[in-house]
Each structure stands twice: as C-alpha cells, then as structure tokens.
Amino acid sequence: MNSATATIFRPPTLSILPPNSYNLTPPRIQYKPNQSNPRTISTRSLQISHRKHITPPHPPEHSTTTLTVAEKLQILDTEFKSLPEPIDRVKRLLHYASLLPEFDESGRVESDRVTGCTAQVWLEVTFDVEGSMRFRVDSDSEITKGFCYCLIWLLDGAAAGDVLEIRVDDLGEMNVGILPIRASSRVNTWHNVLISMQRRTKALIMEAYGDPSLPLLP
Amino acid sequence: MMTMEGVVLKLPSFTQLMNPNHFTNRTSLNFRFTFPKYSSSSTASLSVPAAAPVSLGHSTRPDFEILHQKVNNGSKLVYLDNAATSQKPSAVIDAVNNYYRSYNSNVHRGIHFLSARATDEYEMARRKVAAFINASESSEIVFTRNATEAINLVAYSWGMSNLKPKDEIVLTIAEHHSAIVPWQLLSEKTGAVLKFVSLTEDEVPDTKMLQELVSKKTKLVVVHHVSNMLASVLPINEIVQWAHDVGAKVLVDACQSVPHMVVDVQNLGVDFLVASSHKMCGPTGVGFLYGKSELLAAMPPFLGGGEMISDVFLDHSTYADPPSRFEAGTPAIGEAIGLGAAIDYLSEIGMQKIHDYEVDLANYLYESLGTVPGVRIYGPAPSATVHRAALCSFNVEGLHPTDIATFLDQQHGVAIRSGHHCAQPLHRYLGINASARASLYFYNTKEDVDDFVRGLVDTVDFFNSFK
Ligand SMILES: Cc1ncc(COP(=O)(O)O)c(C=O)c1O
C-alpha cells in the first residue's frame, strides 16, 4: 500500500469512528457447495463464488466499496488514537467483538486454527469471483475478537494485493497498552491473525493462478 | 515497605462496578483491615500496630526497586508473575554491575589479574550453587543457559548414549514443555518410549500410577518437583526409591522448588536436577544442571568448542573433565556471578523462612481467590498435609484468561500470566486451552493478594457488564 494515500485521506467524519457504524453481517457468500463435507471448505478450498458482494442491510455512511484499504487503515489508526485510555479501547473492542458473527461449533475446525496465539482463533479464508478476499474469524477471547473485527472490516472484500501489503506496523496503534507495540509479538494475537490472513491469501492465489504475482498486479 | 505504596489511594474509574470495599488501607506498620468478603482466612485479624511483626514480604520489598513503580495510567505495580521470572534484588544487580565495572574478563583463559579474579568469582558461584542444593562436590554443577538447556544436555549426552529402542522414560503430563520436548526428540532418535503419568481426582500427578509405570524397562524418570501450574509438590524421595529399585535414573525439574524451599540433592537422592537462575532472584542467561559425579564423568560432551576440551588434534580431541566438558565456549560469567549473589541473598534470609512465609501466602491466595464468583482454581486444595506452592492457575467462567490478564494489567497494574504456561498437555488433560496464573514470591504480601483479588472482581464485573 502507498502510505501517501493513507495520509491524504481525511474524511470530515473521522471522529464518528466508521468501523463502529458498519454492520458486519452481510449475508455471507456461500462458499460451501458441498455441505456434507465441511472439511473441503477449509482454507485450501478453491470454490469460487459467483455471487457478488452484497450490500449490508444497513448501508454505512461511506459505502465499503468507496473506501480503499488505505483509507480504512487511516480511519482505524485515527480511531485508536482517539482512545488514549486503555479502558476505552477495551470497551470499544468489546463492542466490536459483539458485532463479529460467531462461528457455530462446527465452524471451529482445527484446520482453521491460527496457531501460536494465547487465545484460540479460527480463520476462514476464501476468495470470490472478483478476486476479492473473504475472511471470517472467530476467537474465544473477547478482546481478540474485537481486534479481529477491525481486521475483517479492513480486509474482508479487499484485493489480494492489498491484503498482502498490510504491515503489522501500519496498525501500530491497534493495541490496548499505552505503549505502542513496535515489535511483532506472539502475545499480540492479532499479529498472528494478520499474518495468517496473508499466508493463506498467498496460498490460495498460488493454487488458483500458480503465480502469486499475477492477480496482485493493479 | 516504602511509604510511597502506603499512601496511594487509587480511585478506579469503575467505582460503581466494583465492590464497595475497594479502598486499600495500607500503612507501613502492616496494620491490616480485612474486608468481610475476603476474610475467609482466620489468620488476618486486627493486630496491634506496634506489636505487629513485619512480614517477610514487607521487610524484603525495599531490596527490589522495580516493585516500587506505577504502570499503565498510574496503577501501583502488583507483580504476580514470579513463576515465569522473579525480580532481582539490588545485591544481585550490584554484583553484576561490579563484575562489568571492575573485573570483566574471560575465565580459565588468561593468567592476568582480571581473568584470575573473574575465574575465581565464577568458580565461587559454582561452589555457592553446590552448597545451596547440598551437592557433594562443586564439579557436580554444570552451568547452562537455563533449565531448558540443562535438560537438553542430559537428553543428548546421557540419553543418546544410554537409551535403546523400547527403553522407557516415565514422565508426568504436568511437565513443562522443556521437560517433555527434549525427550520426544530423543525418542525419535533412539526409539525409546515415553510413558506419561496422569492426574488423580485431586488434580495432582498420580504417584501410584507412576509407581506402577516404573518397570525394568524404565531407564529414566523425569518429574517436576513443584508444578508450575498445579502448585502441587511431588514426593521425590519415594519416586527416587521406586526408580532406583529398577535401576532407572531420576531427573528432577526443580525450577519451581529451588527458588522457594530447601532442596537437598543428596537427601532427595536424585541423579540429575535442573533449575534456572532467573526464577531465583538471579540474572537470566544462566541455569544449572546438577548431576552425580559418576554419571557426569561417563557422559560424552553435548556441545563442542573451547573450554570443554583437554587437547585438540585435527582428527580428534580429548575432553576435559566435568563440569568443563559440558561448558563449551565462553560462559555467562557475569550472570553466573549474579546467581552466586542471588544465592547469598536467599541464604541470608533462609530458605526455610522463605518457604514458611510462602506456605502462609499460598493459603491466603487460594482462599481469597476462591471467593471470586465463577472462579475455578486448578490443582489440589490446601490442607494440613497438602502444601501448595504460592501460585494459583485459574479460570473464571465465561471469560478468557488473556482478557482477564489484559484488563488486570491495564486497569489495575496487576501482572499475571495467561496462556498455557508451557504446559499444553496438562491443559488439554484438564479440558481447557488456557488459564490465568498468579504466582507469588517472598517479596509479595497479603496486600498484593488483596489488590489482585479486588482487581479480578472488578475485571469480572466489567466483562460481565458487556454480556
Ligand atoms: C517447571 C518448569 N520447568 C522448566 C522451566 C523452563 O525454564 P527456563 O525457560 O528458564 O529454561 C520452567 C519455566 O517456565 C518451569 O516453570
């Protein structure tokens, strides 16, 4: 991502905290053609949906399609900066957690586990016919779920190239400590989630195109 | 206790969510008020300030400057992650500082003044460790980077030359990963088989099962002394007896016992014992292996390099005697000397005194934590015969331990651990993925426990208010 783009975009309504206003429960695109075999829908699945992204029931102020990943990143950064008190960050994260649709127990499959986290995280990665990446995440930790909501808001529906360009550092503000966390740490579950999103994105693209650089070109 | 702590009245921002008794009454006279909610322990009553003896926690806290600080938004630090690593008293910091300022030099390699002094102090540290655990000779102490390396040393050196396919190693499922993984690697290489002892209903490793598992096929028994998650203590004497009866050796992971109680390797009769300096007031980067001389003498080197050889030819080398044989390369000299200083510090207090104080703290912690609604503490319940270590691993119904630990840290300045504490098999056995753990040391006080429990109640209320 071009960091210049990220800093230029300053919508006047930033203080309204867009992620908060989004309803993240659009009717999910069904990637499970064969329900009798849920294992095949794991990250390796290449069933490409032919349905388009569906507008959420309550359209957000800015439609998702008009915001680039860079712009969303900026919004997230500003949002976290506006909450200097950890307690407020925790509250916001718990709110987001409540917006994140839970997996049903059968969705929490071992093959979707993001390993190396202090909390358990399950991540489902697929991509649709437009080449947009689709992510679903669930966790047994509420704070982690809150972070995951932010990641989903940021990257669900994004182009693979945009997903791969995000750096942990771009989300430096996303923490509940007063110290900005500079180094990637095992303790920061969402770092692992982001890295998993990217690794699985790459794997899917590799599988589909045999060459990771192909669909990543602008 | 520093007055700074005595006067702090923290007003949490969630007053309305908290139990009404959230004011800390602290004075430097150890004058305690007990709140009805936490007063399940009969030991805490109103004492006459002038006569109140100063607890070990209060009297040693001034030695630990790090404890007297505010973290996250001005909360007083309450450090309860001692099973992960302990704090270091100024005596230890000074010893390391002094080494680097006045006599930093390589050991065993130079005849000059500084090297002689460094060698002297380094070897003195070894003698201190030997005396501390009552080894018969200081050459039975091998300095390693930590307990993990000490276990790996035994696995590679002793294990590779003594184990053959179908030989058995008996361990408990409550071992730290450091005491499991090296044996898994060894078993892949040698074909030796690992046998695991599970827990009894009281959530302690089942010693009866252990006794039954030990057979003629057993070559090694690997057990912890004190569990870093269950807070239980294993009867090492008996285990050693059972193992030796069939000719098996015993390696004891004493990471959580050596810092907290008298450990006497001769009395216990163990063949190998390991511990880490950083959990016993010493610096990181150094730990030790105790091995009976005749065992060490028969063991091949673990790592090759300088320090561990006697003569090097181009096609072969002859090895130095233990302990040098196992200390390839320049050791952690300043750290070993720091460990020596830590041992001096602990010995001056007295390990029995530390232990007695911690038993009292352990009971207080267990009882106080038990009053929190929805809490589940792992490991045995304390009784007249069951003494728990001063730590509690726990979960609170409906809350993730990491969320608890995050909030306790951010909002209350209480440092606890969350996760699997490097004991995943044990967590799996208990049917959980993670737990929270509060672990104390002799510089902790009952007020620390009160602060923790009060913070936890607030944490639980906070999260529940979002449900
Ligand atoms: C029981 C036990 N064994 C082994 C270890 C490993 O110690 P270290 O990481 O210092 O090698 C620990 C420390 O967490 C422990 O608690």
Q: What is the DSSP string of B345-382?
A: HHHHH-HHHHHHHHHHHHHHHHHHHHTSTTEEE-SPPP
Q: Is the pLDDT of residue B258 over 60?
A: yes
Length of chain A: 218
Across residues B41-57, what is the average pLDDT?
A: 62
pLDDT score for B364? 98
Q: Are strands B435-439 and B309-312 parallel, antiparallel or unpaired?
A: unpaired
Q: Is the pLDDT of residue B408 over 90?
A: yes
In the reported structure, the alpha carbon of residue B250 is separated from the centroid of ligand 1 by a whole-number distance in angstroms of 18
Interface of B with A (CB under 8 A): 13-14, 72-73, 399-403, 406-407, 410-411, 418-419, 433-434, 462-463, 466
| Of the candidate ranges B16-25, B194-203, B300-309, the one whose mean pLDDT is the lowest | B16-25
DSSP result, B189-252: HH--EEEEE-B-TTSSB-HHHHHHH--TTEEEEEEESB-TTT--B--HHHHHHHHHHTT-EEEE
Q: Is the pLDDT of residue B424 over 80?
A: yes
**Which of B71, B410, B418, B461 to mutate against chain A (most A CBs within 10 Å)?**
B410
In the reported structure, the alpha carbon of residue A36 is separated from the centroid of ligand 1 by a whole-number distance in angstroms of 45
Chain B positions touching A98 (Cβ under 8 A) are 466
| Of the candidate ranges A74-78, A172-176, B142-146, B218-222, the one whose mean pLDDT is the lowest | A172-176
Torsion sign over Cα B262, B264, B265, B269: negative
In the reported structure, the alpha carbon of residue B148 is separated from the centroid of ligand 1 by a whole-number distance in angstroms of 7
Chain B positions touching A141 (Cβ under 8 A) are 400, 402-403
pLDDT tens per residue across span A116-166: 677 889 999 998 877 789 999 999 899 899 999 999 999 999 998 999 998
C-alpha B390/C-alpha B441 separation (Å) is: 7
Atom of ligand 1 nearest to the CA of B83: 16
Q: Is the pLDDT of residue A188 over 90?
A: no
Torsion of CA B232, B235, B240, B242, to 10 degrees: -110
Cα-based angle A47, A52, A53 (whole degrees, multiple of 5): 105
Across residues A41-58, what is the average pLDDT?
A: 32
Q: Do A90 and B73 touch (CB under 8 A)?
A: no
Yes or no: say if A83 and A96 are a contact pair by the CB < 8 Å rule. Answer: no
pLDDT-derived band at B50 (thresholds 50, 70, 90) equals low
Percent of chain B with pLDDT over 70: 89
pLDDT-derived band at B129 (thresholds 50, 70, 90) equals very high
Residue B327: both structure tokens together: 């200390």
Across residues B333-355, what is the average pLDDT?
A: 98
Query: Which of A12-26, B32-46, B212-226 holds the top average pLDDT?
Result: B212-226
Residue B358: both structure tokens together: 């911690």
Compare B82 and B34 and report the one with higher pLDDT: B82
Percent of chain A with pLDDT over 90: 23
Q: Do A189 and B406 touch (CB under 8 A)?
A: no
pLDDT tens per residue across span B84-117: 999 999 999 999 999 999 999 999 877 899 999 9
3-state secondary structure of B50: helix
Across residues B402-419, what is the average pLDDT?
A: 93
Closest Cβ–Cβ partner in B403, B411, B419 for A143 = B403
What is the C-alpha end-to-end distance of chain A, expressed in Å? 11
Chain A positions touching B411 (Cβ under 8 A) are 86-87
Query: Which of A168-177, B219-228, B402-411 holds the top average pLDDT?
Result: B219-228
Q: B65: which residues sit within 8 A by CB, 6+ positions away?
A: B90
Distance from CA of B456 to the nearest CA of A (A): 15
| Of the candidate ranges B30-44, B139-153, B242-256, B385-399, the one whose mean pLDDT is the lowest | B30-44
pLDDT-derived band at A177 (thresholds 50, 70, 90) equals low
**Which of A87, A117, A122, A144 to mutate against chain B (most B CBs within 10 Å)?**
A87
Nearest C-alpha neighbor of A137 from the set A86, A181, A89, A103: A103
Pocket test for ligand 1, best of B255, B272, B280 (most atoms within 8 A of CB): B255
Residues of B assigned a catalytic role:
422
Compare B381 and B36 and report the one with higher pLDDT: B381
Yes or no: say if A141 and B403 are a contact pair by the CB < 8 Å rule. Answer: yes
Across residues B39-61, what is the average pLDDT?
A: 66
Q: Are strands B272-276 and B249-253 parallel, antiparallel or unpaired?
A: parallel
Q: Do A144 and B406 touch (CB under 8 A)?
A: no
C-alpha B317/C-alpha A56 separation (Å) is: 73
Q: Is the pLDDT of residue B450 over 80?
A: yes
C-alpha B394/C-alpha B369 separation (Å) is: 9
- Using DSSP, how many helices (H) and how many strands (E) does chain B show? 16, 17
Does A141 contact B at CB distance below 8 Å? yes
**A86-99 vs B401-412: helix crossing angle, rounded to 10:** 150
Q: Are strands B309-312 and B417-419 parallel, antiparallel or unpaired?
A: unpaired
Pocket test for ligand 1, best of B177, B178, B233 (most atoms within 8 A of CB): B178
Query: How far, CA to CA in Å, does B158 sit from each of B163, B190, B290, B294, B331?
Result: 8, 12, 13, 12, 21
Q: Is the pLDDT of residue B268 over 80?
A: yes
In the reported structure, the alpha carbon of residue A23 is separated from the centroid of ligand 1 by a whole-number distance in angstroms of 46
Lining ligand 1 with CB less than 6 A are: B 83, 146-148, 176, 178-179, 224, 228, 253, 255-256, 276, 287, 422
Across residues B112-126, what is the average pLDDT?
A: 95
Chain A positions touching B433 (Cβ under 8 A) are 120, 140
Percent of chain A with pLDDT over 70: 60
Q: Is the pLDDT of residue B200 over 90?
A: yes
3-state secondary structure of A200: helix
Compare B35 and B83 and report the one with higher pLDDT: B83
pLDDT score for B72? 81
Closest Cβ–Cβ partner in A87, A95, A140 for B410 = A87
pLDDT score for B49? 53
Mean pLDDT (chain B, rounded): 89
Across residues B47-67, what is the average pLDDT?
A: 84
pLDDT-derived band at A211 (thresholds 50, 70, 90) equals low
**Which of A141, A179, A181, A187 to mutate against chain B (most B CBs within 10 Å)?**
A141
What is the C-alpha end-to-end distance of chain B, expressed in Å? 40
Q: Is the pLDDT of residue A113 over 90?
A: no
Query: How far, CA to CA in Å, does B406 sit from each of A89, A175, B165, B420, B427?
Result: 11, 11, 46, 15, 20
| Of the candidate ranges B16-25, B338-347, B419-428, the one whose mean pLDDT is the lowest | B16-25
Across residues B280-290, what is the average pLDDT?
A: 98
Q: Is the pLDDT of residue A39 over 60?
A: no
Residue B393: both structure tokens together: 């691993």
Compare B80 and A147 and report the one with higher pLDDT: B80
